[in-house]
Structure 1
Amino acid sequence: MKRTLIVVALVAFCFALYATAQDKAETKDRLFEMRTYTAAEGKLDALHARFRDHTNKLFAKHGMQIVGFWVPAEGPKAQNTLVYILAFANKEARDKAFEAFRSDPAWIKAKADSEVNGKLVEKVESVFLKPTDYSPIK
């Protein structure tokens, strides 16, 4: 009985080590993209609606992990700015996901329908981020 418990404990320990190694391997090249959208005048609510009703579902469909969405809490940018962060396994996965997203007929329709009265976005800024060794998010 004692020997069986030792074997079970050893197997559990090995699985834990394997899982930790897998987690580290999967996050080694992980890439985050922070995107800042400047909405066209008076279009921020419509931009929120497009993300809420269409874009988020399509991001998930194409393997784009949403970290979060933010708006400035104060100041002039609070009227026209949306910031969000996506996570990807690596740059290649990011490029492949965005290519698939942009060519998805559902996205093409959602974009066209939402911009029937003019473009929603004036400017998009994108910054690629890699986590530091002390970041709680890897």
Structure 2
Amino acid sequence: MRSLVGFLAGLLFGIGLVVSGMADPAKVLDFLDLFGTWDPSLAFVMGGAVLVTFLGFRLVLRRRAPVLMERFDLPGTRLVDGRLLTGAVVFGVGWGLGGFCPGPAITALPLMAPGTLVFVPMMILGLWAGVKVREARAATGAALPGR
């Protein structure tokens, strides 16, 4: 049942990305181009997402436990550290350069656009490299940045 609900939620999310234009890197780059062909429409998409998330969290967290799990899986800290800031910068720069963030990039794969076909493998390579760096640091006992 959890897999079916997860699939349906992912499908709804993907459809929302396509309908909102988030799967079109040109639209995203136009949103980021404040002094050129600025397109403010994605601000409404983001505003709607923030509003739905804010209200959804308020409603859901009133429950003692999620419907399909034993407990909520929430972050254990609210600390803003070097790792969080570095990740945010890397994410933002990648989004600005490529016009994609991971969800819309995967959603846009069936379109077979050349930019997507380069971005997604490089994203996967970056994720793999991050895991390998973390494993290497853990094996040598080296501290991770921000810790």
TM-score, normalized by length of structure 1?
Answer: 0.23
Q: Which has the higher strand share?
A: 1
Q: Which has the higher helix share?
A: 2
Q: Computing the radius of gyration over CA atoms, which structure comes out larger, 1 or 2?
A: 1
Q: Quick one: higher RCO (CA 8 Å, sep 6+), 1 or 2? A: 1
